[in-house]
């Protein structure tokens, strides 16, 4: 194994897609394939932060912040 190949496999963590050791070139993934799978998940909306239900306009409206008058 060449020094370059060995350097690429330095402990960079584990691929979040398949669990194989991550490679520096594609970190945090092990390959370009796993990076594309993750990108597809992002673009497909699989990774979301749940929104709080309710009237968002009231929360974000100007003048609704409680200001300390003193």
Phi then psi for residue 2, to 5 deg, are: -75, 160
Task: Report domain 8-46's class.
Answer: alpha beta
In the predicted structure, residue 61 carries a pLDDT above the cut 70: no
| pLDDT confidence of residue 51 | 85
Percentage of residues in the chain having pLDDT higher than 90: 47
Q: Are 24 and 11 in contact (CB under 8 A)?
A: no
Asked if the bond preceding 28 is cis, omega within 30° of 0, the reply is: yes
pTM exceeds cut of 0.95: no
Identify which of 7-11, 12-16, 21-25, 46-50 has the greatest average pLDDT.
21-25
How many Cα atoms sit within 13 Å of 9 on the Cβ side? 8
Domain boundaries along the sequence of the chain: 8-46
């Amino acid at each position: 194994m060449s020094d370059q190949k060995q350097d690429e496999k330095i402990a960079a963590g584990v691929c979040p897609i398949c669990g194989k050791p991550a490679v520096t070139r594609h970190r945090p993934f092990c390959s370009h394939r796993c990076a594309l799978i993750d990108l597809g998940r992002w673009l497909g909306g699989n990774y979301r932060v749940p929104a709080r239900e309710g009237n968002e306009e009231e929360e974000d409206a100007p003048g609704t912040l409680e200001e300390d008058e003193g």
